[in-house]
Amino acid sequence: MPLRVRAWILGVGIAAIFPLLILLLYSPPDGGQRAELAQFLGRFHPLAVHFPVALLLLVLVLEGAALARQSWDLRQSAGFVLGLATVAAIGSAWLGWLLAWSGGYEGSLVSRHMWGGVSLAAASLACWGLYGWKRSVYAAALLATAGLMIWTSDQGGKLTHGDTFLTEHLPRPLRRWLGGQRPSEVDPSSFYAMRVQPIFEDKCVLCHNAGKFKGKLRLDSYEHVMRGGKDGLVIHPGEPGKSELFRRVTLAPDNKDFMPAEGKAALSGAETKIIEVWIAAGATTHIAETAIQGLPPSSRENAVSPPLTADYRPQLKEITALETSLGVRLVPRSQNPTDGLILRTVSAPERCTDASLAQLAPVANLIVDAELARTRVTDKGMQAIANFSNLRFLDLSNTAVTSAGVKELMKLEKLESLNLTQTRVAHTTAAELQAKPSMKRLYLFETH
Amino acid sequence: MNSQKPLPGHVCCDDHGEGPSVYDLPVPKSLRDEWHRLASRRHFLGRMGKTLGWAGLAVLMGNKLLDGVAGASEAEPSGPQSLRVPNFPPAAKRCIYLFMSGAPPQMDMWDYKPGLSSLYDKDLPDSVRGNQALTGMTAGQARFPIAPSHWGFAKQGKSGRWVGDLLPWTGKMVDDLALVYSMQTDAINHEPAILLMNTGNMVPGKPSLGAWLSYGLGSMNENLPTFVVLNSALIPHSNQQPISPKLWSSGFLSNEHSGVAFRSEGAPVLYLDNPQGMNSGTRRELVDSVNAINQLTYEDLGDPETHARIREYEMAFRMQTSVPELVDMRDEPASTWTLYGEEAKKPGTYAHNCLLARRMAERGVRFTQIYQRGWDVHGDCVGMLPKLCVATDRGTYALVTDLKRRGMLDDTLVIWGGEFGRTVYSQGGLSKENYGRDHHPRCFTNWLAGGGVKAGIAYGETDEYCYNVVRNPVHVRDFNATLLHLLGIDHEKLTFKFQGLDQKFTGVLPAKVVTGLLS
C-alpha cells in the first residue's frame, strides 16, 4: 500500500478517535438520560462490540497461522481483517459513548470501560499503522491490543451482567485459590434484615431478582441493593434524597419512573418511611432493629418477628432421624425458619416418655411449643424440658407430673403458657409458677 | 361422516393377524368409526414424535419445570414445607365450625333492634328494600309487614352486649365472643349460600375450608382424619334444608383432604368394626394386598388419585383403633357432664357432637365442623326457634367454656353461624303470636371465639330495620380470609393451580382480612 494512502487512512482514523477523546474528557456520562435518537443508536453498542472482539481475535489467529505455515496469503488477509477490526472498534467506541452519555450511566466501571474502548480503537489503529513494518514491534503491539481488548470486554461484561457473573459459580477450590469472596452474612436481627429486606421481598424482588433483574438491579440481597443497577447506585448512604430507589418509590404513581412499575402494589407510607430512615442512618446492616425508634409498626402480615430460635434447617437431618426413632413430630411453626419447632406427640402420645424427652437434647433449643398432653412423661422428664431454653408454650395436661417435677420449669425463662389441666400439681406450686415474670397463662383445671 | 364405511385393519397396525382386535369389542359402530378416523398411522407417528419432543424437553428442563407445581414431585415433602405454610405462626392451630344450616334469624337472637317494636305490622319502607330481588317465597306478597322479635334481649357479660333471651347459656360467655353483625353474602337461596360459606364459591366443585386446611397445614394426628364433619340429629318438626358431601368435598384437591362425616346414630363410622371371623391381623393383610394392587394400578396409569386411595385405606385401618377410643366417653370427669348436660350423653345430639369436637381437638383433628339443620324458619318462628335454641345453646356454651378452662381456647378457633340472615318483614301472616321470616343475604350475625380473636367485641352495624349494613360490612370472602389468617395462612398465598387459575379459598375477587376482629 502506498505510503500516502496509508498516512491518509491513519489521519482519518485519528480524526475519528480524537473528538471522542475530547467528549470523554469534557462531557463524561453523568447518569442523566438524553436524546431519544442517541439512546436508540447507543443501544446497538452491545451488538456492535462483538465485531472488533471477534475480528481482533481473528487477526491473532491469522497471524499465528501465517507464522506457522509461512503463508503470505494469510498474512495479507490479517492486514485486511485488522483494518476491519479497527473500523469496528472505532464505531463501537462511538456507539458506546452515545449509550453511556444518553442512557443514564455513571460510575467508575463505565469510565473504565469507556477509556478501555477508546484506547482499544486507538491501539487497533496503531497496529494497523505498524502492519507490514517492523514485525517484532507489530507483534508486540498486537498482543498488547489483544490484552487491552480482553480487559475492556471484561469491564463491559461486568457492566451488563454484574461483576460476579463469571465467578459466581466458580468451583470452590478454584475460588479459594483465587481468593474470591463469598457474600457476607447479614445479621438477622439488624434493622435491614428485619424491616428493610422484607419490604424489598414483598414489593420489589418479583422483577429484581437473580433471574429477572430489570434495570440490571437486584434487590434480593444487601450486596446487590448496594451495587445498584444500570443507572448506577440506587442507594446513597445518608442521603435518601439522592438515592434513586427512594426517589422512585415516592414519586407520584402516574410518573413513568414510579416503582413498583406495571401497576404492581405500591409501597405503603410506612414502608417508604422505613427505607428513608434506613438510608438516612447510613444504609448499613450494622444498625440493630431496636436502635431506630418511632417508626410505625410493620403491618401484621409483613411483620418479621424477632427470631425465637436458631434456624432449624441446618439440623434437618437430625430432626428427621429423631422423628422416626421417637415417633414424635417436630413441625416448623411457620415458613420462617427462626420461629422454632412444635414438638407434637398427638399421633402416638403413649410413645412419648421421659426417655424420649432426654433424647431430644440436640434440638432442645429449637423447640418453642411442646405438646405433651396425654403422654407418659413424668417428673423425671421435666429435667430434660428445663433445658428447652426457648420454650414458650408447654402443654402437660393429663400427664403424671406433680409439683416436684413442675418446679424444674422455673428455669424456663421464656415460658409464657403452661397447661397443667388434670395433673396432680398442687395449687401452691402453681402460684410460684404464676409469679414467673414471663408467665402469661397458666391452666389448672381439674387439679387440686 | 358416520355413514363412511369402516376401513379394514387395525387402528395402529395394518397386519394384526387372526387374533381379536379392538373392532371385536362390543362398542357401538359409530364409536368404532370414530376411533378409526382419529387414530391413523399418521396420527400415531405424529403423536409419537410430539411425545418424544416433550420427553426431550422434560429431560432438558429437569425438575425445574415441575418445581412450581405443588405435589408434582413425589420426593418433595408434602404439607407445610413444600407449600411454605403457615405463612406466619398461627394464632389458632385448629378450628371448630358450628354451622347453623338453614340460617338463624339475627334479629331474634343477636342483633337487638328495640325500635322495631313500635313498627309492628308497619310496611317496610321501599327505600330500605331498594331494588332487591326477593325469593319466590315472598316476592308475591302484597305487603312486607315488619315483625319485631317476639323475645326480649338483655345486656350480658362485662362487655354488656345485648343477647336474645333465647340464648341464656351463650349469653353467659358473650365476653369471649367477637360478634359480627355485618355479615353479607351474595346468595339468597340455601344451596348457593351454604356453598359460598363453606367453599368460597356458589358453584359446587370447590374445596371446602377444612379441605384447604388439610391441604395447606397437613395432619396433626396421623391416626385420625384431619377434617371431620358431625351431622347432628334432626330436630322434630323443624324445616330441614338438605346438606350434602359437596360441602365438605376436597374439590380439585386430592381426595384425602375431604371431610370424613361421622354418622349421628349407630356406629359413628361405618364398617370400622371387623366383621365376624376377621381379626386385626387378617385385616392388615387384606389392606396390604389391596394396597399392592392399587400400587400396580398407579404404576400403570400414574394417576395420583390412586395414591390418595391407598392413603385412605391406611387411614381407615388406623381409625379402627383410634375412633373407638375417641368416641368412648367413659373417661370424662363428672365436671364434663355438669357442663354439657345429660343431653350430651345421647350420641348424635348437638351437645354430644360439641363434646366430641372437644375430644377431637384434644386428639389433633385440625378441623371439625358440626352441622345443625332446621334453622329455616319461614313460618312458625315463635314455635320453632325456642326448640332450635334449646337444642344448641347449651352445647355451644359448654364447648367454648370447656376449651377455655382446659387452656385450649388460646389455640382453637370456634366459629358460629349460618349461610345468610332472615328478613325483618314477616313471611306469610303476621300476628302478635307468630310470624315467619324469609331468606336475607344483606345482613346476618356470626361470631368467632378463641385463638387470635378479639374477645368481647361487636363488629359492624346494621340499620334500624336490621336490613342493610351501615358500618363495616364483612363479606363472606372477607370473613373466610380472616379465618385463614387466624390459622396462619395468607389467603392470597395458599393456592392450587386448576383450570388455568391459581385457585384460592376466597375466590378471584379481592378479599381482605378483617383486622378489627383480630386481637
Report the chain A residue with the minimal C-alpha distance to residue B402. A445
Half-sphere exposure in the Cβ direction for A10 (13 Å, CA): 14
* B-contacting residues in A 330-389 (Cβ below 8 Å): 331-336, 339, 344, 346-348, 373-374
Interface contact flag, B407 A419, Cβ < 8 Å: yes
**Mean pLDDT score of chain A, rounded to an integer?**
86
A407 CA: distance to closest CA in chain B (Å): 20
Give the best residue of B83, B221, B332, B487 to mutate against chain A (max A CB count within 10 A): B221
Structural contact between residues A279 and A246, judged by C-beta atoms closer than 8 angstroms: yes
**Could you tell me if A323 lies within 8 Å of chain B, comparing CB atoms?**
no
Q: Which of A321, A344, A322 is nearest to A332 (CA)?
A: A344
Taking CA–CA distances from A344, the nearest residue in chain B reads B220
Work out the pLDDT band at A203, boundaries 50, 70, 90.
Answer: confident
Q: What is the model's pLDDT at position B361?
A: 97
pLDDT band at B85 (very low <50, low <70, confident <90, very high): confident
- Looking at chain A, which residue has its C-alpha nearest residue B331? A398
- CB-count burial class (<10 Å; 0-12, 13-18, 19+) for B358: buried
Which chain A residues are Cβ-neighbours of B217 within 8 angstroms? none
Burial of A19 (0-12, 13-18, 19+ CB in 10 A): exposed
Find, in chain B, the residue whose alpha carbon is nearest to that of A343. Answer: B220
DSSP string, A358-424: HHTGGGGGGEEEEE-TTS---HHHHHHHTT-TT--EEE-TTS--BHHHHGGGGG-TT--EEE-TTSB
* Whole-number pLDDT of residue A325: 93
For chain B, the domains span 1-62, 83-269+342-517
- Mean pLDDT score of chain B: 87
- Using the structure block, give the residue that is written with the C-alpha cell 409483613: A302
Interchain proximity A347–B364, CB inside 8 Å? yes
Of the ranges A398-402, B68-72, B106-110, which one carries the lowest mean pLDDT score? B68-72
Q: Does residue A281 surpass a pLDDT of 70?
A: yes
- Say yes or no for a CB contact (<8 Å) between B362 and A332: no
Q: Is A397 on the interface with B (CB under 8 A)?
A: yes
Q: Which helix (H) or strand (E) holds A355?
A: helix A354-359
Percent with pLDDT over 90 in chain A = 39
Is B131:B147 a contact under the CB 8 Å cutoff?
no
- Whether the per-residue pLDDT at B134 is higher than 80: the answer is yes
Looking at per-residue confidence, does B62 or A189 come out higher? A189
Q: Of the ranges A169-178, A248-257, B453-462, which is most confident?
A: B453-462
CB-based burial of residue B457 (10 Å sphere; 0-12 exposed, 13-18 middle, 19+ buried)?
A: middle
Which residues on B lie below 8 Å from A348 (Cβ)?
A: 223
Candidates A332, A335, A441; nearest CB to B407: A441
Angle between helices A108-130 and A3-26 (to 10 degrees): 170
Among A346, A417, A419, the residue with its CB nearest the CB of B363 is A346
Give the single-character DSSP code of B486: H
Answer whether residue B65 shows pLDDT above 70. Answer: no
- Of B100 and B309, the structure prediction assigns the larger pLDDT to B100
Residue B333 has pLDDT above 90, yes or no: yes
Phi, psi values for residue B498, rounded to 5°: -155, 135
Neighbours of B363 (CB within 10 A): 19
Tell me which chain A residue has its CA closest to the CA of residue B221: A347
> Which whole number is the average pLDDT over A261-284?
84
* pLDDT at position B47 over 70: no
**CATH architecture, range B83-269+342-517:** 3-Layer(aba) Sandwich (3.40)
Yes or no, beta carbons of A417 and B223 under 8 Å apart:
no
Q: Does A305 touch chain B (CB under 8 A)?
A: yes
Whole-complex ipTM: 0.81
Closest CA to B320 of B282, B366, B276, B274: B274
Contacts of A374 in chain B (CB under 8 A): 362
Q: Check residue A298 and give its pLDDT.
A: 52
State whether residue B347 is helix, strand or coil: coil
Q: And the C-alpha cell for A93? A: 467506541
Are the Cβ atoms of B89 and A332 closer than 8 angstroms?
Answer: no
pLDDT of B497 over the 60 cut: yes
Q: Do B222 and A421 touch (CB under 8 A)?
A: no
Nearest chain A residue to B487 by CA: give it.
A334
Chain B residues with CB under 8 Å of A446 CB are: 333, 335
- Please, which residues have CB within 8 angstroms of residue B347's CB and are 6 or more apart in sequence? B264, B265, B268, B327
The answer, for A300 touching chain B at a CB cutoff of 8 Å, is yes
Give the C-alpha distances (Å, rounded to integers) separating A389 from A114, A315, A414, A415.
Answer: 59, 17, 7, 9
Per-residue pLDDT, A302: 47
Q: What is the pLDDT of residues B349-370, one digit of tens each?
A: 999 999 999 999 999 999 999 9
Inter-chain residue contact B333 with A305, CB threshold 8 Å = no
pLDDT band at A289 (very low <50, low <70, confident <90, very high): confident
Contact B86 A333 (CB under 8 A): yes
Mutation target vs B (from A323, A334, A336, A415; most B CBs, 10 A cutoff): A334
Q: Determine the topology of domain A313-443 in CATH.
A: 3.80.10
Mean pLDDT over B269-294 rounds to 88
* Angle of CA points B356, B359, B364, to nearest 5°: 125
Look at B80 and A331 and tell me if their CB atoms are within 8 Å.
yes
Whether the pLDDT of residue B207 is over 90: the answer is yes
DSSP string of B366-397, one letter each residue? SEEEEEE--B--SS-HHHHHHHHHHHHHHHHH
State the average pLDDT over residues A55-80. Answer: 86
| Chain A residues with beta carbon closer than 8 angstroms to that of B365 | none
| Contacting residues of B for A395, CB less than 8 Å apart | 407
Q: Pairing mode, if any, of strands B444-450 and B177-184?
A: antiparallel
Q: Residue B135 has which C-alpha cell?
A: 325469593
Is it the case that residue A409 has pLDDT exceeding 90? yes
- Min mean pLDDT across B194-203, B272-281, B471-480 is at B272-281
User: Who among A348, A417, A446 is closest to B410 (CB)?
Assistant: A417
Q: How many CB pairs under 8 A join A and B?
A: 67
3-state secondary structure of A357: helix
Q: Which position has the higher pLDDT, B297 or A3? A: B297
* Across A315-340, average pLDDT: 92
